Chain A
Amino acid sequence: MAEPRRRLLPHLASLLLKYSYIISMVCYAAGLVTVLLLPALAKSTYISENALMPGSANPVFGAREAADAIRMADEVQSLVLKHADGYIAVQEWAVKHMSALSADCYLQPFSPPEKPLSSMRFYSSPQHTGRLSQNGTMEGIPGVNIVGIVRAPQAEGNEAVVLVTPFRVEGMLSTGDRLALGFGMALFELWGNSNWLAKDVIWVLADSRYSAYTAVAAWLQEYHEPRFDLPKDWGFSDPSTQAWLYAGEKLDGETLLDFKRAGTIAAGLVLYLTSGDGGVADCIKVSAEGPNGQMPNLDLINVVNSLAVWRQGLHMRVDTFADMQESASLNYLGQFLEKIGQLAGKVRADWGFVLTASMYVEGLATLFASVKNQALGLPTGAHGAFRNYQIDAVSLEMMAGGDFGTVNEQIDLLTKFGRLIEGVMRSVNNLLEKFHQSFFLYLLSAPNKFISVGVYMIPLGLLLLTLPLGAAALCSQSVKTAVASDSLNQTESDSTDVFSATPGKLSTEVVKAGEREPDNLVTAKTSVGSWQRAVVVVSVVQLWASLTANFPPFVSQLVDSIMMNFSASSKAPAVMKFFTIPGLKMFMWATMAIVSLLTMVSFLPTPGKGDWIAVKALLLGVATIGLGVMSQIDFAVSLVGALVLVPMSLCACPLTNIWGKSADEHKGSKSIQFRLFLLLGTMVNIIGSPPVLLASAMYFIGDSSSWQASLSKFWEWTELLWCWGSALYPYILVVHLPCSILCIYILLS
């Protein structure tokens, strides 16, 4: 009778577990390399939706329209300078011109943004806009959006395209805003007189006295979620504003406040005009990142790109890290990749890829900026407000090469931009269906290069693979050590050689051992006990983390109410010598977190000797789940998080293992190299632990002049993340924080 055949899959599994450390390291390294290789894997963009047909029609926007735009820009500026309230001047100007076109127009007052952290809403709704309270009052001066609608002559009117030009009046309009308004009006007139429109065009002149986002979000909210049951009292303190808004009744019986709609919004374009930042050529910068890394359909960016580059000869840019492009090490890497590409091309012609070092570095810088923008979870402009209603929108920042020099230069510039915007509008107008053909999940590594979800999932997959592998290895190891320590205590008469058994067979061996020796059952029980304790530890830390994540609104309200009391008694409390209010809030929050952590830890069961293995296995499991869930909410957060969290949690092991006498001597593997290895891991752990991370963050984002300033900076960041509903906030507090606390727990056990 031959030996029992070894089954393939269990054998492979056992091999995997046996070499899990090496495999983990290889996987992690491969993940890192893949992240760095992403620019080389990027594909060129292409127009996926045939109906868009960019550039198929010749734009009619010409020098005459551009001259009109400049004339109207001057007109609005002179009106603003004359009028006491510049915003009303802009409103009057816009209403006059739009009515002359017999286009629909109206004004939409909106309340200022509500105070951050004044409510517990986090995921429920975009909360950047204030809502009227039940009695219809609010604080602050309301902003007023001006909206005009060109009705497409022969269309059904159930689809629309939105054009947004934010403006701000500070005594006068800035050159960019002034030109943007004139430019918008020229386009509006062009569309008002055209007969090719199939979708209505809505032009929103967003009053960005608070921010462009607030204005656009307020308008979109009224468009999609109007409240009929709230009496609207806009509390304009200024009587002239009141008079203009309410008495400005138009001839056909409507008031200027009559909100009008134009059907489903197909796309949104937010236009900014700025003078150049030292660039030579006229260029156009596209920002597309919405809340939590949501991107508009890639086709929209493609259309802008193809029209700007191929039709108008404009340079197109996306956000990038400029200083990264000078980095010497990245340049070496780029040259190395270039060599590899050439070499591969020599071996087989179709393997080769042309990627010059400068292209690679540029791609990497852009990619990292893209990842950063997505990971922060804050929209990069007013277009983010559209994404909350599943509307594809981008911000186009049109930058003049020079400084808006002469009128001729302006005309030349506006002609180019006008033809571009008209072309984009024609493309979107051609669209029969909504945007659905191209990608929604992608990263940009250049304006015309993208990395789709199928590619960028690979590095995350490689990184995440290591965690369950490590957990499984630890799990089998913990059972093994339990059995081993137990059987060592037993008589040697037992012939079962536990160690020679492959890990895959461990469970059966344990059961066998248990059957044979009643004492082994006790061992299994102690092992189970360590798992129970580990579960308690992990859940307590998780619970603490989720509680801590919900503290900020309470802390904020608490401090505010205390301050209110003190301000009533007109006596500043002693603490205010040390803290600013945000700093105090941050300090309170940190104190509450630490105190509650210490309280909770004091209730933990006393750890056993080998408990850390079970805790680490659970930690790895929790980290996998956390990162996996985060990747669904915001991929970039998950990718960046995995780069830090994976080595941290994999390398966690008790400090005693490094110097002290090893607990499991039978392993005999306490070589210098092993200890060095452990030391390295511990270093990684220390670097990744919250205090170090905080300190480094303080160094980078806070001004390092004083720790109080940094504290307030931290609080401001927390407020920001909370109010935008960024996925980074739950990641840091619910995934990263408990995991690093557990790492410290392991280090100290």
Chain B
Amino acid sequence: MRKLVSLFLALALVFHVIRVQSQRLTEEEEFSEDLLLRPLPDGKVLAHFLFTNLLPPVKSHGHHHHRLFPKAIYQLVQKYHIQQMELSFTQGRWDYQRWGALDPITSANAKPIGVELWAVFDVPKDKVDATWRNLTHALSGLFCASINFLESPAIVATPGLQRGVSGYLRYGALPREAVCTENLTPWLKLLPCRDKAGLTTLLERPRIYNGHYHSLRIHLKSGEFNKNGPEGGTSLRQSLTLVLKPSKSAVVPERLKSLHSNWSLYLLFKKSLVGKCPLASSSQVHLELEGSLVKGLQNHATTEFLFISLWFDVADESQIVDKLNVVDNPGYLLMNALPNRILKEIPKSEWEEEQSVHVPCLLLDFEVQDYSKAYPLNVGLSWRAPIAWVPRQGPFRVTRFLTGSGNERGSIAIVLKANSESYLRSCSKFTPENKDAQVCALDEGASGIDVTIFEMVPWYVRLYFHTLKVVLDGQQVALRDVAKWMRVSPSEDRKSPAVLEMQLQVPYNTSVISLTVEFDKGYLRIDEHPPDANRGFDLPSALFTFPQLQTARSYGFVNTTANAVFDQPFFQTLLEEQLVQIYSENLLVHLATPDFSMPYNVITFTMTVLALYFGSLLNVLRRRLGEEERLQAKTTGSQHAGKLMTLISKYFGKRSDSKHNVQTRTPLLKLVLIISVAAGIAIYYILGL
């Protein structure tokens, strides 16, 4: 029974569905802006802009003139009865190994390349598809993107298990969609201050599109259309996640080469922050230092180093995280700004707290309103020592690739390799000498690591699900031994994609899981090929989730262990428990592509053959033997007139008059007939193809 319950919970949580929703019920519209900065282990910097717009429920407050909430979005919600919707535009790959996979920000904002859209509707079942179609068109117009291609049911999945959602869910992805400023501008228009004031002034286009990762995201949630009556208002979260590489100064001394490059807001964006958006209720910049980085800094700290910062209570000095000073320490120097407050991550469970390996993350908050044109906010880090750290990785790193070659068949392979540094593993402690160690962070009774896989493959890649093989550490295992549940919907040509959803449960000490499924490559009609068809066809990313792991992070003041509740939307977002999800890279499949000049060749070739055939047929049909003989007799007669004349006529194509008279109309008729038949067939071919 317990298993069943946990299973249900797992099902209920695959698609971002928020279990603990402590959304405030606001009386007024509210807008807030936040920027999270986080140094990454490979020297790059994560910048995550979050703009939250809250609208109180209409039922209790009545229809009103929106002051802040974008009307376009509100109309979408009203018209299509959207419960939840998420749209993301992404460029570049998220590097799960180097940039982390386990914290709320990365898990929610690491998105597959291109466009991904999913929505939950509260409409009758038979209207879902129509509503989805209309929504894609509306969004397409709103964001200047070809989201309308998602109207075709051939690339839209209906995840089979409704996962605790009361409405109907649709999922679609366009891996080839290019992302550019064209999409950013409409996104900015939804904000009350656009890019005229506040954090958005940082968004210098050449800088943000030159980064290593760029993901525009819109998350919309509305309580208006719940079955049990409206609960909560409508919230719109717009986020822009960037990974930028601070430019290295041209000449770096040899001894500093191993250091990460220094960065500041100005160096990253070529702009400084001069003030908040006047309409925002709060406007903050957060600098987050990951636990492992803090640990690395601690290791680097020396005993003689004790800098007491002015704005800490001297009494609380001993509480400052393990002698680490956040502003100036041997590891780095915080430049140009002092934090307004310093927060510490509160461990989620007692077990986590006990773990000596676990060092809490630190969050340094800066209030943008304290800064002005005269004194802009230009927070940055200047590194002093080479510090290496590893971000929190998921239990597995995931690769998906195609195997085989040629245009006929192949197979999709998914390989999950265990991360030794993984949170889950450090918890389960599966060392040889400690085999019976308590499995701690997981639900009791769990007998292994759960992995869910969601994969959607367009119909022209014809998967053979019976060839699905699971190999654990080089040993092939029967599917029923590892699969907790599985749902397969085979594709239908030009109608629906193949969808594979399954949950595997593997032993803790599994280090490699590989799944392979074979496919045949289908043939497309000539007009179904996209432009540049020889590039191949992109398959959307697969989604992996780990139901036993939730991302949620709560912060409290440094000197207390109590869980202080911050009610800014930013902290609310961090608090939401979400499943850890990892997207695989998308794939490129080469199908047999026709030579597109070939139809022309085929047409000309066939027409030639047909013309020859019709010519000889007409010749046979229209020949009159008697007349021919008479003509022959005549020509022999005319030979007496002079051999010279016949020779001349032979060579110059001139024929004697009598012959000419007979044959005048024949070629013309023939020609007309042949041309009309040829034209008819050509038209048939062109239309038919």
A262 CB, min distance to chain B CBs, angstroms: 9
Instruction: Identify B475's interface contact among A153, A195, A229, A436, CB under 8 A.
Output: A229
CB-based contact B586/A226 at 8 Å:
no
User: Chain B contacts of A253 at CB under 8 A?
Assistant: 97, 390, 393, 397, 419-422
CB-based contact B516/A156 at 8 Å:
no
User: Chain A contacts of B632 at CB under 8 A?
Assistant: 2
B486 CB, min distance to chain A CBs, angstroms: 19
User: Chain B contacts of A11 at CB under 8 A?
Assistant: none
Given contacts A224-B403, A232-B474, A263-B588, contact A156 B538 (CB under 8 A): yes
Given contacts A224-B405, A230-B474, A231-B474, contact A252 B97 (CB under 8 A): yes
Which B-chain residue is minimally distant from A102 (CB atoms)?
B42
User: Chain A contacts of B471 at CB under 8 A?
Assistant: 228-229
Q: Mark A388-413, 1 if CB is under 8 A from B, else 0.
A: 11100000000000000000000000
Which A-chain residue is minimally distant from B533 (CB atoms)?
A433
CB-based contact A434/B514 at 8 Å:
no
Q: Complex formed: what's the CA distance from A388 to B404 in Å? A: 11
B524 CB, min distance to chain A CBs, angstroms: 15
A333-350, CB < 8 A from B:
none
B40 CB, min distance to chain A CBs, angstroms: 10
CB-based contact A153/B534 at 8 Å:
no
CB-based contact B404/A225 at 8 Å:
yes
B599-642, CB < 8 A from A:
629, 632
B171-191, CB < 8 A from A:
175
Summarize A's interface: helix, strand, loop or mixed.
loop
Given contacts A263-B585, A434-B535, contact A226 B97 (CB under 8 A): no
User: Chain B contacts of A153 at CB under 8 A?
Assistant: 92, 211-212, 245
A425-439, CB < 8 A from B:
432-434, 436
Indicate whether A158 reaches chain B with its CB closer than 8 angstroms. Answer: yes
Q: Complex formed: what's the CA distance from A113 to B534 in Å? A: 35
Which B-chain residue is minimally distant from A254 (CB atoms)?
B97
Indicate whether B442 reaches chain A with its CB closer than 8 angstroms. Answer: no
Q: Complex formed: what's the CA distance from A283 to B393 in Å? A: 49
A345-389, CB < 8 A from B:
388-389
Indicate whether B448 reaches chain A with its CB closer than 8 angstroms. Answer: no
A131-158, CB < 8 A from B:
151, 153-158
Instruction: Identify B390's interface contact among A225, A226, A252, CB under 8 A.
Output: A252
Q: Complex formed: what's the CA distance from A154 to B92 in Å? A: 4
Q: Complex formed: what's the CA distance from A287 to B97 in Å? A: 39
Instruction: Identify B536's interface contact among A226, A261, A434, CB under 8 A.
Output: A434
Which A-chain residue is minimally distant from B415 (CB atoms)?
A228
B526 CB, min distance to chain A CBs, angstroms: 16
How many A residues touch the partner, as a band? 35 or more
A141-186, CB < 8 A from B:
151, 153-159
User: Chain A contacts of B406 at CB under 8 A?
Assistant: 390
A100-144, CB < 8 A from B:
102
User: Chain A contacts of B535 at CB under 8 A?
Assistant: 432-434
Q: Complex formed: what's the CA distance from A701 to B388 in Å? A: 61
Q: Mark B402-439, 1 if CB is under 8 A from A, else 0.
A: 11111000000101010111100000000000000000
Indicate whether A247 reaches chain B with its CB closer than 8 angstroms. Answer: no
Instruction: Identify A158's interface contact among B390, B532, B586, CB under 8 A.
Output: B586
Which B-chain residue is minimally distant from A220 (CB atoms)?
B405
Indicate whether B330 reaches chain A with its CB closer than 8 angstroms. Answer: no
Indicate whether B563 reaches chain A with its CB closer than 8 angstroms. Answer: no
Indicate whether A264 reaches chain B with its CB closer than 8 angstroms. Answer: yes
Q: Mark B456-492, 1 if CB is under 8 A from A, else 0.
A: 0000000000000001001110000000000000000
Q: Complex formed: what's the CA distance from A401 to B41 in Å? A: 46
Indicate whether A525 reaches chain B with its CB closer than 8 angstroms. Answer: no
Given contacts A226-B413, A263-B587, contact A434 B405 (CB under 8 A): no
Indicate whether B323 reaches chain A with its CB closer than 8 angstroms. Answer: no
Q: Complex formed: what's the CA distance from A153 to B97 in Å? A: 15
A98 CB, min distance to chain B CBs, angstroms: 13
User: Chain A contacts of B8 at CB under 8 A?
Assistant: none
Indicate whether B43 reaches chain A with its CB closer than 8 angstroms. Answer: yes
CB-based contact A251/B390 at 8 Å:
yes
Instruction: Identify A226's interface contact among B42, B393, B403, B405, CB under 8 A.
Output: B403
User: Chain A contacts of B551 at CB under 8 A?
Assistant: none
Q: Complex formed: what's the CA distance from A582 to B108 in Å? A: 66
Q: Complex formed: what's the CA distance from A436 to B533 in Å? A: 11
B582 CB, min distance to chain A CBs, angstroms: 14
Indicate whether A494 reaches chain B with its CB closer than 8 angstroms. Answer: no
A102 CB, min distance to chain B CBs, angstroms: 4
CB-based contact B532/A433 at 8 Å:
yes
Q: Complex formed: what's the CA distance from A593 to B632 in Å? A: 67
B449 CB, min distance to chain A CBs, angstroms: 15
Q: Complex formed: what's the CA distance from A253 to B534 in Å? A: 38
Indicate whether A519 reaches chain B with its CB closer than 8 angstroms. Answer: no
A60 CB, min distance to chain B CBs, angstroms: 14
User: Chain A contacts of B404 at CB under 8 A?
Assistant: 224-225
Given contacts A224-B405, A434-B590, contact A252 B98 (CB under 8 A): yes
Which of the listed residues A153, A155, A228 has the most CB atoms from chain B within 10 Å of its own CB?
A228
Q: Complex formed: what's the CA distance from A228 to B95 in Å? A: 24
CB-based contact B476/A229 at 8 Å:
yes
Indicate whether A82 reaches chain B with its CB closer than 8 angstroms. Answer: no
User: Chain B contacts of A664 at CB under 8 A?
Assistant: none
Indicate whether A515 reaches chain B with its CB closer than 8 angstroms. Answer: no
CB-based contact B403/A225 at 8 Å:
yes
Instruction: Identify A228's interface contact among B41, B175, B516, B590, CB under 8 A.
Output: B516
B512-529, CB < 8 A from A:
512, 514, 516
Indicate whether B372 reaches chain A with its CB closer than 8 angstroms. Answer: no
Given contacts A251-B388, A261-B401, A263-B587, contact A228 B420 (CB under 8 A): no
A260-278, CB < 8 A from B:
260-261, 263-264
Indicate whether B355 reaches chain A with its CB closer than 8 angstroms. Answer: no
B112 CB, min distance to chain A CBs, angstroms: 9
User: Chain B contacts of A436 at CB under 8 A?
Assistant: 534, 593
Indicate whether A249 reaches chain B with its CB closer than 8 angstroms. Answer: yes
Indicate whether A258 reaches chain B with its CB closer than 8 angstroms. Answer: yes
CB-based contact B91/A159 at 8 Å:
no
User: Chain B contacts of A102 at CB under 8 A?
Assistant: 42-43, 98
Which B-chain residue is minimally distant from A153 (CB atoms)?
B212
CB-based contact A195/B538 at 8 Å:
no
User: Chain A contacts of B393 at CB under 8 A?
Assistant: 252-253
Which A-chain residue is minimally distant from B632 (CB atoms)?
A2
Indicate whether B93 reaches chain A with its CB closer than 8 angstroms. Answer: yes
User: Chain B contacts of A158 at CB under 8 A?
Assistant: 538, 585-588
Indicate whether B85 reaches chain A with its CB closer than 8 angstroms. Answer: no
B35 CB, min distance to chain A CBs, angstroms: 22
CB-based contact A264/B586 at 8 Å:
no
CB-based contact B405/A390 at 8 Å:
yes
Q: Complex formed: what's the CA distance from A349 to B413 in Å? A: 62
A236-292, CB < 8 A from B:
249, 251-254, 258, 260-261, 263-264
User: Chain B contacts of A433 at CB under 8 A?
Assistant: 532-535
Indicate whether B399 reaches chain A with its CB closer than 8 angstroms. Answer: yes
Which A-chain residue is minimally distant from B257 (CB atoms)?
A100
Indicate whether B36 reaches chain A with its CB closer than 8 angstroms. Answer: no
B568-594, CB < 8 A from A:
585-588, 590, 593
CB-based contact A264/B536 at 8 Å:
yes
Which A-B residue pairs are the 3 nearest by beta carbons? A433-B534, A158-B588, A228-B514
Contacts A2-B632, A264-B536 supplied; 15 other A-B pairs, CB < 8 Å:
A153-B211, A153-B245, A154-B211, A156-B175, A158-B587, A229-B476, A231-B474, A252-B97, A253-B97, A253-B422, A254-B397, A263-B587, A264-B590, A390-B405, A436-B534
Task: Pull 17 A–B residue pairs with CB atoms less than 8 Å apart, ordered by A.
Answer: A153-B212, A153-B245, A156-B113, A156-B538, A158-B588, A224-B405, A228-B474, A228-B516, A229-B476, A251-B388, A253-B397, A254-B417, A260-B399, A263-B588, A264-B402, A389-B405, A434-B590
Query: B-side interface residues toward A, CB under 8 Å?
Result: 41-43, 91-93, 95, 97-98, 113-114, 175, 210-212, 214, 245, 388, 390, 393, 397, 399, 401-406, 413, 415, 417, 419-422, 471, 474-476, 512, 514, 516, 532-536, 538, 585-588, 590, 593, 629, 632
